[in-house]
Amino acid sequence: MALLKTVSELAAIVGGEVVGDGRVVIMDVAPLSEASSGEISFAADKKSVNVASDGSASALLVKEKSEALSAFSLILVSDPKAAFAELIGLFRPSEAFEPGISEGAVVHDGATVSPGATVMALAAVEDGAVIGEGVILYPGVYIGRRARIGDASVLHPNVTVMDGSVIGTGVIIHANTSIGSDGFGYISGPEGHTKVPQRGIVRIEDDVEIGACVTVDRATVGETVIGKGSKLDNHIQIAHNVKIGAHSIIVDHVAIAGSTTIGQGVVIGGQAGVVGHLNIGDGAVIAAGAGVTSDVAPGEVVGGFPSIPQMKWLRIQPVYRKLPELKKQVSSLEKRLAMLEEKLLAEKD
């Protein structure tokens, strides 16, 4: 049965103030451009207010009253996006699973699985692994020997957690991600490449979320670390012995080479690359597509390849577009200068 809430009831839930008719009944949330009667959305800025004014939502979460939205029931909140996220959880809660080990799962006798954990069919848990309370292992998940999965963590289909890896509490790992695969380490010689044994582990701290198809390599020795509360998007490569500080955000298709240290609260934009053995300071921002080849100071914002201060990089961009014309102008000036020099020499003679 669908959940029904009045606007006034929703305002009480999100700590907001009702403007308009609080008796309007809401049955679902929806994107701003798609919301219709019986649904609530949010407008966080002037641009979205203009979109909302032409829409059919029954109610809106907004920061302040607006004449353009006088026909709607409004809930005034300090952060409409955060309030909307809360209502998503209310109207569309996560699916609940019964705890227990499926008959189709393979759990070694030497593993420890909490009674409150859910291990679905086709999941495998190896000897010495420890699965905490409230953990959910979807089908196809592999937990290696002596790996530890903290309470309330969720591992989606086909996640691989290799031997010795440590996952904290409240961690979410999305489908097809590999935790603890071997680092890319070789010694090259005249007869080829000799593999360096990779005997360290991966440690993922509490409240981390990792997207789909991410690879986090185990350390050669020691630990590869993803710090508390950090969020990683899809298709990211974290190489061996990388250390990522707490509450950092890394967007899709980023690659971080071995033994680099990322500070706390760092933001790395999509498709950026960071070479190995660097230090990226706390609060630094690396723009999308950047190639980082040297250390980045705390709080610094860099972009481009090789990376330089972002504002300087942005000033350089218009010049790049004009390079063909500038080349022609320089060539023309060189020819004219050569002609003038010949003329002056002829006059001296």
Confidence band for 53, pLDDT divided at 50, 70 and 90: confident
pLDDT(285) > 80 = yes
Residue 74 DSSP class:
E
pLDDT in tens, 110-122: 999 999 999 999 9
Query: pLDDT tier at 54 (50, 70, 90 boundaries)?
Result: confident
Residue type, 97: F
pLDDT of residue 1: 60
258 contacts: CB under 8 Å, gap ≥ 6 = 183, 184, 185, 217, 239, 240, 241, 242, 276, 277
Check if 156 is active-site.
no
Given pLDDT bands bounded at 50, 70 and 90, which one contains residue 212? very high
Structural domains in the chain? 5-91 (3.40.1390.10), 100-311 (2.160.10.10)
- Cβ neighbors of 89 (< 8 A, separation 6 or more) are none
- Read off the pLDDT of each residue in 41-46 and give the average, rounded to a whole number: 90
Residues β-bridged to residue 237 = 215, 255
Helix and strand element counts for the chain (H, E): 5, 40
**Tens digits of per-residue pLDDT, 136-181?**
999 999 999 999 999 999 999 999 999 999 999 999 999 999 999 9
Six token digits for residue 345? 């020499």
Over 80: is that where the pLDDT of 349 sits? no
Q: Taking the C-alpha atoms of 332, 335, 338 and 342 in order, what is their torsion angle to the nearest 10 degrees?
A: -120
Which has more confidence, 312 or 286? 286
CB of 229 closer than 8 Å to CB of 191? no
262-281 per-position pLDDT tens digit: 999 999 999 999 999 999 99
Side chain identity, residue 14: V
**Whole-number Å distance between alpha carbons of 229 and 88:** 21
What is the token pair recorded at 50? 């203009």
User: DSSP letter string over 172-210?
Assistant: EE-TT-EEEEPP--EEEETTEEEEPP---EEEE-TT-EE
Residue with tokens 């200068």: 337
Catalytic residue among 174, 240, 247, 253: 240
pLDDT of amino acid 272: 98
pLDDT at 295 over 90: yes
How many other CB atoms sit within 10 Å of the CB of residue 330? 10
Question: Can you give the pTM of this predicted structure?
Answer: 0.90
Question: Residue 3's beta-bridge partner residues?
Answer: none
